[in-house]
Structure 1
Amino acid sequence: MMTTFDIEQLQTELDQKNPRVILKKALELFDNIAISFSGAEDVVLIDMALAIRKDIQVFSLDTGRLHPETYRFMEKVRKHYQIDIELLTPDRDVLDSFVKKKGLFSFYEDGHQECCGIRKVEPLKRKLAHLDAWITGQRKDQSLDTRQDIPEVQIDTAFSTAEHQLVKFNPLLNWSSAQVWDYIEAYQVPYNELHEKGFISIGCEPCTRAVLPNQHERSGRWWWEAGAKKECGLHAGNLKK
């Protein structure tokens, strides 16, 4: 297990490095590591990682509320790369009880945190408990409020426990959206067809909408809530206390 000192050394080593260098280091250091897949950035990471190591582990959160286009996108990626994608689903009993009590759209009235907690955070927590490290597609410019201070590699404070230290890599941290899409075009990487309909940041269907020209990409997520907290809990460590 890596110590905090090791992490600080690694942060210094990977500071401002390009995504391939960060990915290569992550896959060298950890065998029990996985890529979290949901959007365009994550497929770029899969594309890069497969050139380094063929046996990469990939998982995705199936909340049960995704767009039809997103399900088709998942299948497109699975077939394109000939990889297994593990779909993580909510605890059935907890979800049944929640929907029975609050209905299907409670988040419009009392916020998205409870629904995201059941459909996304709990399944992710179950998965991460069995990993030593994970790789995300977070970028600084995705959120001026919550993603400006994240490093290339960190101890995941949201999902680490006293018994289990989890390391988190963010290889695309310093890339812009334009760089991601340049890569997608250059290497013919599959992408979600919703991007052609004005969607930039894509989550669950009831909580995501297309954005207007020059609107920030996260403004299409949970648009009925205050702009400073556009995190579902997967990256809860980003939120300022």
Structure 2
Amino acid sequence: MSQMIPTQPSREELREIGQRLEGQTPQDALAFALDQFFPSIVLACSFGPEDVVLWDMMYRINPKASFFYLNTDFLFKETLDVRDRMVAKYHLAPEQVIEMKPDLTPEQQAEKFGDLLWIRQPDQCCQLRKVDPLTRVLKNYSAWVTGIRRDQAPTRANAKLVEWDAKFDLVKFNPLAAWTHHEVWAYIRANEVPYNTLHDQQYPSIGCTHCTGPVKPGEDPRSGRWQSSEKTECGLHK
């Protein structure tokens, strides 16, 4: 029987756990996370390549695991298609696929804050449609799993395999932190994992329809996000 760690381990315990997990596989990190925290652990799924890989790994370890997604009301049809293909492939029960929506509809948001908020105040738009719903769902868990990789952006270069998320007050696992873009896609192809077909159309990073564009070969993969502003993150991982 494995030794259980506290629901809210100390920062020193998390550092020790992270050191033990460095050099091990993402599956090892996920197995540890699920063993220690299930059912009070959930995957944050944007249906990007990292997230679908993590789901495939989690499902193989524990078929009763669950994920949530933030339906901002501005998702691409292709993004929702990935959700439907995942439900079909893994025979998921409704309680395993948690949809989180903003408190305001797009129409209510426009009435209260004005039209085109994602252009005028993109941080506020992300707060309303992403961060607030994320905060609500994470209150139900002791740990969450994310698809952060260190080489995705300078803001993520120091991501640890496991860390304390002070913003949301729970443990955060980043099992793919040390993986490369190539390793993620090699796993997708080897295991026939459903993925967003927009990735085949020069969309390496996909968010809301209003704030996502294609990227030219050789450009930063995240340069297609918030092209009309200096914004680089939606606020979920700051």
The size of the alignment, in residue pairs, is: 226
Q: What is the letter of the counterpart of residue 139 of structure 2?
A: A
Q: C-alpha separation between the residues in 1 aligned to 2:204 and 2:26? A: 21
Name the SS for the 1:26 alignment partner. Answer: helix
Cα distance in 1 between the residues matched to 2:212 and 2:186: 24
Q: What is the 5 A alignment of 1:194-205?
A: 194-205=198-209
The counterpart of 2:188, out of the listed 184, 198, 201, is 184
Residue 6 of structure 1: how far off its partner (Å): 1.4
Task: Find the counterpart in structure 2 of residue 142 from structure 1.
Answer: 152
Question: 1:7-18 to 2 correspondence within 5 Å?
Answer: 7-18=14-25
1:129 partnered with 2:139: yes
- The corresponding residue for 2:119 is 108
Residue 25 of structure 1 pairs with residue 25 of structure 2:
no
- Equivalent residue runs for 1:38-49 within 5 Å: 38=46, 39-49=48-58
CA contact (8 A) 2:118 2:210 kept: no
Distance 1:184 1:52 in 2: 17
State the secondary structure of the residue aligned to 1:72: helix
Structure 1 residues 48-127: aligned runs within 5 Å? 48-83=57-92, 84-92=96-104, 97-110=108-121, 112-127=122-137
Offset from partner CA, 1:50-94 (integer Å, 9 cap, x none)? 11111101111100001111111111111111123111000137x
Deviations 1:96-126 (A, max 9, x none): 543113344222233x110000000000100
- The equivalent position to 2:219 in structure 1, one of 198, 215, 219, is 215
Partners of 1:16 and 1:109 lie apart in 2 by 43
Match of 1:34, SS state, is strand
Deviates more, 1:57-66 or 1:4-13: 4-13
Give TM-score, length-normalised by structure 1: 0.90
Q: CA–CA distance in 2 between the matches of 1:191 and 1:104?
A: 32
Cα distance in 2 for partners of 1:109, 1:54 equals 43
Give the counterpart letter for 1:130 in structure 2: N
C-alpha distance in 1 between matches for 2:13 and 2:55: 26
**Gap regions ≥5 residues in structure 1:** 161-165, 237-241
Pick closer, same or farther for the CA change 1:33–1:142 going to 2, 3 Å: same
The corresponding residue for 1:163 is none
Q: Secondary structure at the match of 1:123?
A: helix
Aligned partners of 1:12, 1:179: CA distance in 2, in Å? 22
Partner of 1:3: 10
Whole-angstrom CA distance in 2 between matches of 1:147 and 1:47: 23
Residue 205 of structure 1 deviates from its aligned partner by 0.4
Report deviation, 1:16: 3.2
Could you tell me which of 200, 213, 232 is aligned with 2:234?
232
Structure 2: distance between partners of 1:218 and 1:87 = 25
